[in-house]
Amino acid sequence: MLDAATAVFSERGFHAASMDEIAERAGISKPMVYLYLGSKGELFSACIRRAGGQLTEAISAAAAPELPAEQQLWAAVQAFFEFVGEHRDAWAVMFRQARGEGEFAGEVAGIRRLVVDNVADLFARAIHSAGALDPGPDELRALAHALVGTGESMAEWLLDHPDERPETAATRLMNMLWMGLGSLIRGEVWRSPVPVPLPPGQ
Amino acid sequence: MLDAATAVFSERGFHAASMDEIAERAGISKPMVYLYLGSKGELFSACIRRAGGQLTEAISAAAAPELPAEQQLWAAVQAFFEFVGEHRDAWAVMFRQARGEGEFAGEVAGIRRLVVDNVADLFARAIHSAGALDPGPDELRALAHALVGTGESMAEWLLDHPDERPETAATRLMNMLWMGLGSLIRGEVWRSPVPVPLPPGQ
Amino acid sequence: MLDAATAVFSERGFHAASMDEIAERAGISKPMVYLYLGSKGELFSACIRRAGGQLTEAISAAAAPELPAEQQLWAAVQAFFEFVGEHRDAWAVMFRQARGEGEFAGEVAGIRRLVVDNVADLFARAIHSAGALDPGPDELRALAHALVGTGESMAEWLLDHPDERPETAATRLMNMLWMGLGSLIRGEVWRSPVPVPLPPGQ
Amino acid sequence: MLDAATAVFSERGFHAASMDEIAERAGISKPMVYLYLGSKGELFSACIRRAGGQLTEAISAAAAPELPAEQQLWAAVQAFFEFVGEHRDAWAVMFRQARGEGEFAGEVAGIRRLVVDNVADLFARAIHSAGALDPGPDELRALAHALVGTGESMAEWLLDHPDERPETAATRLMNMLWMGLGSLIRGEVWRSPVPVPLPPGQ
DNA sequence: CATGAATGAGGCTTCATTCAT
DNA sequence: TATGAATGAAGCCTCATTCAT
């Protein structure tokens, strides 16, 4: 049922989605939807929470805590792009639809905060393990926030360019993040600290 | 009138916004809104186009074409953050609301494309003037697209942290863009190629 | 529900009729009307089509095809006047309301054409069986069209004179049609080729 | 101004006609329309009354009172068809639009009554001058009413068949009226009691 | 448990009508 | 006098939500 709702919400948006269409696409009757979820708002909220859970789950599962920070980041970024590619609807609900609905923006902001905090933590550990000057947690969170935005933007790009592979986007993001354009200009290129794991089934 | 509409759309979203509220907040009656703009959709579209025009205008005005690319980029980024801070509603309409409304997503995508193309061009010129290897236009546009996403995300951060000055965000973006996190870790910092102009009144 | 709609449309006309009143008079709520009929236009159209069906049905049922043409005509004319007397609303919708609404004039014209064609055919057979000169189909249809107009006008007269019996109007129409005023002046009078069937209950 | 109003009313009907369009087509501003005619209803009423006046005028002018009744009838019928052909809009307003609008049906009924009374009077005089049995005024008015309906129907036929000349319709009507279908079957045909007057300007 | 049937409420849109100039 | 500008009122339609079965 959440699948159907997520699909409709992602296509139409919260307000334009009709409970009729959701129920129909779920193959059940409208009163059932209300019995299980209570109201349109709660249904939307459930979609958001499930999508958020899946996303954070996917990222956490990829970034094994025993790995070095840079490597965790690389894994997380890859997992993120893969998630977006495989859950287009869930992604659209969170990133494109829920953001504008004041009533639900908080929920998606909470999910985003989880990711940002994770990333900020990885930044901190990477800096710490390099023995560099600690920029302070606020600065780190600002950077992490920015990185997540970069990823989101690249995710949209990925969805608009079906030929592109997630790994390409991931590499591009790491390059931009780790090297900066200046370094790129100087011919430096970031390389995966570990051999790129083959996609499953290849 | 577009001000009122932009305000309401930014708060409520396209569907949840009511023409009644827009008219009331504009201080006129509903039939006037229809007389001048035609329909809710055209009103929304007009808000988007005006916001887009203002944004691209602000960026173009800041990035004087005779300056070096890096400097133009710096000026454009600053102008962008200033615009967002000063036109919160317009920004919210474009970035948070119009994206999810299929019917209007195209318009905001068009505006975004303008900005991305500009940025990609600046990238190309920066790389060219550095005599570095040309990465090809597609790669450049992908990078520019990513950078714009970074800026959008930072803009949201800025709106959530009213104490932060736009220059700070701009510097942070240029650092991340130009130096990369790796360089930052090594203690390198990007610096404005020109003295930062003082904000008016300081 | 079509009854209620026909009643309201007949009193107010298409534009002046409000869906609110129709729903109220039908004893249901407005959304039900939309659920069953779709829109005001389709509702009006349904009323027209039902009325047309009833009318043509009544006429066809009366004019048994095995009878001679003159007798069929007589039966049809009677059936027509009885129909109008018993379905005032349906008649008003077709004859007084739908004619002026460009969008629906075609439907009522189609119904009328059915009747006219039937009448023209009866004319043709009457003439043929009398061995008279065939005036050609166009001329016949013109005459039939005129006769139908005569009937329509008499129907209105009937509605305005509730004391008058339908048989009187039917006889008058046959007289005018068959004898012409000239013959009437000469004292000739048309008589029903069969004994007038008594109305039910008398 | 009445021309414009009549045109719009005839195309759209009373309710669907908008004062905006009427004013625009009249080449004046809306407040002027209200200044001169007061309200939409009065404007419609004025259109009806003018059309009715023109019609009765045309008929009266044609039927010179010193002529014999049959000849007056013939002249009146011709004048009627010519009027309809030359004032399509006025005709449509009266016959197709005003009939359904309860508020105005009375006005058009009044006009119609004038014509019917005239016709009934001609009938009476024709019968009287033939020395035949007087059928009584009510019967006469019923017949006259029927004849007018025949004429209206033929008028519509004429409007739908632009190739047909008004004289043809007039002859057909007189035939049907005077001879009846029975006489027609017997090969009798009504002929104009006077040479057909040439249309003006020929 | 599951649903067909039903509705109150509200939104977009338009129109007859009137000021203020 | 003539009009551009403005509006209260009302209509069509749809939707989230709930009974009664």
Q: Which residues of chain D have pLDDT under 50?
A: 196, 201-202
Sequence letter at residue A9: F
CA B79 to centroid of chain Cα atoms: 9
* Residue from A88, A185, A191 to probe the interface with B (highest B Cβ count within 10 Å): A185
| Torsion angle in degrees (nearest 10) through CA of B127, B129, B134, B136 | 70
For residues B119 and D193, the model is more confident at B119
Sequence letter at residue A38: G
Set of chain B residues whose Cβ sits within 8 Å of the Cβ of A117: none
Q: What is the DSSP letter of C134?
A: P
Angle at the Cα of B81 from the Cα atoms of B80 and B86, rounded to 5 degrees: 100
For A69-97, how does the pLDDT look when each residue is reduced to its tens digit (9 = 90+)? 888 989 999 999 999 999 999 999 999 99
CA C177 to centroid of chain Cα atoms: 17
**Is the pLDDT assigned to residue C161 strictly greater than 50?**
yes
Smallest CA–CA distance, residue D148 to chain C, in Å, is 8
To the question of domain D2-185 being in CATH 1.10.357.10, the answer is yes
Q: Give one DSSP letter per residue of C22-68, joined into a string.
A: HHHHHTS-HHHHHHHH-SHHHHHHHHHHHHHHHHHHHHHHHS-TTS-
Between CA B115 and CA B59 the distance in angstroms is 8
Smallest CA–CA distance, residue C17 to chain D, in Å, is 10
Q: Any contact of B with D, at least 3 CB pairs below 8 A?
A: no
Q: Pick out the nucleotide with least CA–C1' distance to D34.
A: E17
Q: Between helices B40-62 and B2-12, what is the axis angle to 10°?
A: 100
Which residues lie closer than 8 Å to D117 by C-beta, 6 or more apart?
D141, D144
Set of chain D residues whose Cβ sits within 8 Å of the Cβ of C153: 145-146, 148-150, 152-153
CB atoms within 10 A of CB C150: 27
Report whether B126 contacts B73 (CB < 8 A).
yes
With residue B57 as reference, give the H or E element that holds it.
helix B40-62
* Residue from B150, B177, B179, B183 to probe the interface with A (highest A Cβ count within 10 Å): B150
Among partner residues C92, C175, C187, which is closest to D132 by beta-carbon distance? C187
* Residue from C84, C148, C184, C189 to probe the interface with D (highest D Cβ count within 10 Å): C184
pLDDT given for residue D133 in this prediction = 75
Between CA A59 and CA A63 the distance in angstroms is 6
> Quick one: closest CA in C to D10, which residue?
C100
Average pLDDT over all residues of chain B: 88
For residue C135, CA distances in Å to B104, C120, C141 come to 65, 11, 10
**Is the pLDDT assigned to residue B181 strictly greater than 70?**
no
Reduced to 3 states (helix: H, G, I; strand: E, B; else coil), residue D69 is: helix
**Is the pLDDT assigned to residue B86 strictly greater than 90?**
yes
Q: Percent of chain C at pLDDT above 90?
A: 67
CA B148 to centroid of chain Cα atoms: 8
Set of chain C residues whose Cβ sits within 8 Å of the Cβ of D101: 13, 16
The single residue listed with the structure tokens 């990711």 is A115
pLDDT given for residue D61 in this prediction = 94
Report whether D153 contacts C146 (CB < 8 A).
yes
- The model's confidence at residue B5, banded by pLDDT at 50, 70 and 90, is very high
> Quick one: closest CA in A to B170, which residue?
A146
For residue B99, CA distances in Å to A88, A95, B105 come to 15, 9, 5
**Is the pLDDT assigned to residue B162 strictly greater than 60?**
yes
Between CA A95 and CA A47 the distance in angstroms is 12
Angle at the Cα of C109 from the Cα atoms of C106 and C115, rounded to 5 degrees: 150
- Give mean pLDDT, residues B52-72: 92
Among partner residues B130, B157, B185, which is closest to A145 by beta-carbon distance? B157
Q: Which residues of chain A have pLDDT under 50?
A: 196-197, 201-202
A97, with CB counted inside 10 A (0-12, 13-18, 19+), is buried
Between CA A45 and CA A37 the distance in angstroms is 10
Interatomic CA–C1' length for residue D10 and nucleotide F1, angstroms: 30
CB atoms within 10 A of CB D123: 25
Interatomic CA–C1' length for residue D94 and nucleotide E10, angstroms: 40
**Is the pLDDT assigned to residue C202 strictly greater than 50?**
no
Task: Give 3-state DSSP helix, strand, coil % of chain B, rounded to 5.
Answer: 75, 0, 25
The single residue listed with the structure tokens 């609301």 is B97
Between CA B177 and CA B150 the distance in angstroms is 9
Q: Which chains touch D (3 or more CB pairs under 8 A)?
A: C
Between CA B157 and CA B137 the distance in angstroms is 30
Q: Which nucleotides of F are covered by protein (CB under 7 A)?
A: 1-20
Among partner residues D102, D145, D172, which is closest to C153 by beta-carbon distance? D145
Smallest CA–CA distance, residue A84 to chain B, in Å, is 16
Sequence letter at residue D145: H
Among partner residues A102, A130, A181, which is closest to B177 by beta-carbon distance? A181
Smallest CA–CA distance, residue A88 to chain B, in Å, is 13
CA atoms within 13 A on the CB side of A190: 26
Q: Where are the domains of chain A?
A: 2-185
Q: Any contact of C with D, at least 3 CB pairs below 8 A?
A: yes
Nearest alpha carbon to residue D196 among D168, D176, D177:
D168
Q: Pick out the nucleotide with least CA–C1' distance to B23.
A: F7
Smallest CA–CA distance, residue D139 to chain C, in Å, is 9
Which residues lie closer than 8 Å to A69 by C-beta, 6 or more apart?
A122, A123, A125, A126, A129
Angle at the Cα of A20 from the Cα atoms of A41 and C47, rounded to 5 degrees: 135
Between CA D123 and CA B17 the distance in angstroms is 70
| Torsion angle in degrees (nearest 10) through CA of A146, A149, A151, A154 | -130
**Is the pLDDT assigned to residue B194 strictly greater than 70?**
no
> Quick one: closest CA in C to D164, which residue?
C142
Set of chain A residues whose Cβ sits within 8 Å of the Cβ of B180: 175-184, 190
**Is the pLDDT assigned to residue B21 strictly greater than 50?**
yes
Residue of least CA–C1' distance to F7: B29
- The model's confidence at residue C44, banded by pLDDT at 50, 70 and 90, is very high
For C85-124, how does the pLDDT look when each residue is reduced to its tens digit (9 = 90+)? 999 999 999 999 999 998 999 999 999 999 999 999 998 8
Interatomic CA–C1' length for residue C18 and nucleotide F18, angstroms: 27
> Quick one: closest CA in A to B16, which residue?
A15
pLDDT given for residue B192 in this prediction = 62
Q: Which nucleotides of E are covered by protein (CB under 7 A)?
A: 2-20
Interatomic CA–C1' length for residue A96 and nucleotide E11, angstroms: 24
Alpha helices in B63-101 (DSSP H): 69-86, 88-91
Q: Pick out the nucleotide with least CA–C1' distance to A20.
A: F15
